C-alpha cells in the first residue's frame, strides 16, 4: 500500500492531505487490495476445479466451467458471510 | 489543527480494521469450506446440499474455534 504522504519534513499543512482525502484514498486502496486478493483466490480455486488436464488450448467446456466457478465462488462467499453474521434467528 | 488525529479519522481507522478482520474471516472460511463442500465441477447453480454444507461448515468452524479457545484457556 502506498501511503505516499509528504514525509519530507514537517512543512506546511497544505501539503498534508485533509482527513477526508486521506480516508477516501485509504478506502479505495483497501478496496483494491481486497479485490486483488479475492481474484487471486478465485484463480487458484477455479484452476484446480476446471483445468484438470491442461491441453494445448482452452476447451469450451473448460472456459464455461471457469465462468460458472467464478459465479459460484462469489455466491459461496455470500453464503459463508451470511452464515457468520446473520446466524441464528 | 492536526487533522490526522481527528476523532473522525480514528473512528474511521477503527472501523476499517474491523472490516479487515471480518473480511479475512469470510475469505478464509470460504476458501476452506469451498474445498470441503464443492467436490465436483461447479454447476450453474449450487445444489441444496452444497449450499447447506457451506452454511454448516462456516458455523461449525465458529463452534470449533470456541472449543479450541476454551481448551487453551483451561491449560497451564
**Complex ipTM:** 0.87
B54:A76 CB<8 A: yes
Helical ranges in B1-76 per DSSP H: 7-37, 48-73
Q: What is the pLDDT along chain A (89 residues), one digit of tens a residue?
A: 555 544 444 444 556 778 888 889 999 999 999 999 999 999 999 999 999 999 999 999 999 999 999 999 999 999 999 999 986 54
Contacts of A13 in chain B (CB under 8 A): 1, 3
B43:A75 CB<8 A: no
Nearest-neighbour CA in chain B from A45: distance (Å) = 8
Grid coordinates given for B76: 497451564
Asked if A3 and A33 count as a contact pair (C-beta separation under 8 A), the reply is: no
CB of A74 within 8 Å of a chain B CB? The answer is: no
Grid coordinates given for A24: 477516501
- pTM listed for this prediction: 0.82
Amino acid at each position: 500500500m502506498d501511503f505516499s504522504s509528504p514525509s519530507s519534513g514537517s512543512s506546511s499543512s497544505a501539503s498534508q492531505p485533509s482527513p477526508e482525502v486521506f480516508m477516501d484514498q485509504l478506502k479505495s486502496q483497501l478496496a483494491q487490495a481486497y479485490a486483488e486478493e479475492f481474484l487471486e483466490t478465485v484463480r487458484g480455486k477455479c484452476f484446480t476445479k476446471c483445468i484438470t488436464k491442461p491441453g494445448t488450448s482452452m476447451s469450451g467446456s473448460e472456459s464455461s466451467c471457469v465462468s460458472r466457478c467464478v459465479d459460484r465462488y462469489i455466491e459461496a462467499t455470500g453464503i459463508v458471510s451470511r452464515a457468520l453474521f446473520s446466524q441464528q434467528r | 489543527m492536526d487533522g490526522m488525529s481527528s476523532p473522525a479519522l480514528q473512528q474511521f481507522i477503527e472501523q476499517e480494521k474491523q472490516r479487515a478482520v471480518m473480511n479475512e474471516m469470510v475469505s478464509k472460511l470460504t476458501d476452506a469450506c469451498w474445498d470441503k463442500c464443492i467436490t465436483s465441477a461447479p454447476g450453474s447453480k449450487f445444489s441444496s446440499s452444497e449450499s447447506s454444507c457451506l452454511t454448516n461448515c462456516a458455523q461449525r468452524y465458529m463452534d470449533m474455534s470456541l472449543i479450541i479457545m476454551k481448551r487453551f484457556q483451561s491449560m497451564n
